[in-house]
Each structure stands twice: as structure tokens, then as C-alpha cells.
Amino acid sequence: MHVSWSTTLKNRQQIRARVEADEQIAVMFSDIRGFTSYTAREGDRAAYQLAQLHESLLRERIEEAGGIIVKTMGDGIMAAFPEISQGIHAAVTVQRAIRSRNKETPKEPIDVGIGLASGTPIMTEGDMIGHSINLSQRVSSLAKGGQILVTEEIKCEIPPLKGLHYIPLGKRDLKGLGEEFLYEVTWMSEVARLSDGEDHLTLVLTERGTIVVELAKEIQEHLEDVLAELESAEKNEGAFSIMLQRGIARFTQTAIDKSLSAAGIMREQDLDLVNISFHGRNVLVKSGKKTLHLKNVDPDAAADFRAKFAALKDRSDTAERGDAR
């Protein structure tokens, strides 16, 4: 559905009216995870097409929710909404659309992190500036692929929308802005979740009977940079030995320290394609030949996740046996 120019103009006028009345609006940043390494690996044309796909997925849902795209930044988009609830609604519909798209093309997933903040920024003809803009961008930078993060101010201002929940993430250090208490907006009808001790990796168990892997932005991009470097080394025999050793060293250290063996694991998979084993505070997730290692998990969260995973898997197996009859 294409939103008319008159609707876009109306949305912009509503935002300007609220700003001029010193009333809060919602500011949203969304950016693609691993875009820099994707560009280096696939080339400028492919990166441009990915950015255009990202923008088209967002633009329609942002404008339908009553918002506007303020500006695009290659791998990212900044949007604004007259009402905070509109921003949350748009973020949820965006992540759901991306989830559907990734299900159709699982070998070429898009990972997007979204951050939301509220405030009364200065609105120019083609841009916005102010603390809420900087805050929203910093919050977005902390979001894992598939996550929606919001500030405590938004959480206190807007009760959870129907079917959604806020999960407290504690205080996070935002570069240049100090500490901010953040919340995640759950949107996948999740049953349970489990994160490693450093919160670099999160497993989400959904009512759909799937496992979703959320990978932190800086970890994912570092991993993809290392893999891209190794691929480049293979094409350059003269530099192969040095680059290979350097790449393997970096990759091994990072994989051990930050649980980066998630490389190659699909973002969302059916339970019957996944095996999970629990070893004290360590959890191993196997999918085909790929293994994901979560270290220093919370024992109570692990026990809860384990029980619910087993129950969902048993329900799935029972349904399959019923269909077989």
C-alpha cells in the first residue's frame, strides 16, 4: 500500500505542531546489522539494493503508523511520530515484516536493530536535532538484530500495547550521554529467552515453535569482518599466510571470549532442526554442523528455558505423530 503525499504532509504537520507546542514526539532509528562488511563482501550495487529494500520495508509501515522518514543514512533510517505509541507500533510492524521476509529468504536474512526515544527536538526543513535524536541513535546502536529498545521515559509514558511487553535490561552506558535505563519491547509472542553472561547473544523461544537468535550489533559486525577478511585472503595467495593467521587468531579469541560461533546459524529455525544441551552455566545449541555457545548463563533462566523448550518440542512431536496417523 502506497501512502499518498497528502498523508505524508499531514503527518509532518502534526509532528511540527506538537514540537512547536513543546509536546513530546517519538524518534526512531533503525539500521542494518553488518552493513559495512556486507558492502565489502558483496559490492556497492548489492549493498545499495539491500539499503533500498530496508527503506521500502520501513517507509510504508512508518507512514501508515502516522510517522515520517526524516532522513536516510545508507544503512539506517531516522523517523519521527506525533505520538509515542505510533512509534512503538511502527517498530513492531517493521520487525514483523522483516521476520516474514527472512522466512521467505532464510539464506539472505536482514538483521535490523531499532531504538526509540522521546523528546521535543528542533525541527528544521529537512532534519531534526537535539538530545532525543542523539539518545534514539545511541539506543538503536545497542539493539541486537530483531530487537526494539526504548528508554525508561517511553516505558513510563506508554503502557505496553496489546500483545506486547517491556523487559527491563538495566542501565546501559550510552556513548557521550551517560547511563540510561533501557527496556526491550517483546513482539514475537515469546515463551522464554536466554542470554549469555555478557548479553552478546540471546535465544528467544516463540509460541510458533521456533528458536530466534539475536546477535549484538558490534559482535555481529566484528564476526562478519573477520570472515570477510579470510575470504579475501583466499583470493590473494601472496598475503594468504599472514592474513589467514591474523584472521584466525582474531576469530578464535573473539569466539572464545564472546561466543561468536553463531556464524552461519539461521536467525529463526523450527525446534525440530535444533538440539540444545545444558552444561551447568554453559549452553550448546546445534543446528546441522553449526554450534552456538552461550557462556555464563543465568541458571534459573536456563532451567526455565530448558523446561519450556522440552514442552514445546514434545507438543510439536505429538502433533507430527497425530498428522502421521
Give the model confidence (pLDDT) of 217-226 as tens digits. Answer: 555 555 555 5
Separation between Cα atoms, residue 121 and residue 90, nearest integer Å: 20
Is-contact 74 88, C-beta < 8 A? no
Distances (CA, A) of 118 to 29, 70, 85: 12, 15, 11
d(CA 29, CA 284): 33
Residues 43 and 37: their CA atoms lie apart, in Å, by 10
Most confidently modeled of 35-39, 208-212, 268-272, 277-281? 277-281
- Among 3.30.70.1230, 3.10.290.20, 3.30.365.10, 3.40.30.10, name the CATH number for the domain at 5-187: 3.30.70.1230
**How many CB atoms within 10 Å of residue 182?**
24
The predicted pLDDT at position 231 comes to: 52
**Domain spans of the chain, in order of start:** 5-187, 220-324
pLDDT tens readout for residues 264-296 = 566 777 888 888 889 889 988 887 777 778 889
93 close to 65: Cβ distance less than 8 angstroms: yes
- Per-residue pLDDT tens over the stretch 42-86: 888 888 888 888 898 899 899 999 999 999 988 899 999 999 999
Q: Determine the Cα–Cα distance for residues 145 and 217; give it in Å rounded to an integer.
A: 7
Q: pTM here? A: 0.77
The 10s digit of each residue's pLDDT in 169-193 is 899 999 889 999 999 998 888 888 8
Assigned C-alpha cell, 132 = 532525543
Q: Where is 67: in which H helix or E strand?
A: none
Task: Kindly list the distances between the CA atom of residue 111 and the CA atoms of 29, 95, 144, 277, in Å, as whole numbers in the listed order.
Answer: 14, 9, 8, 26
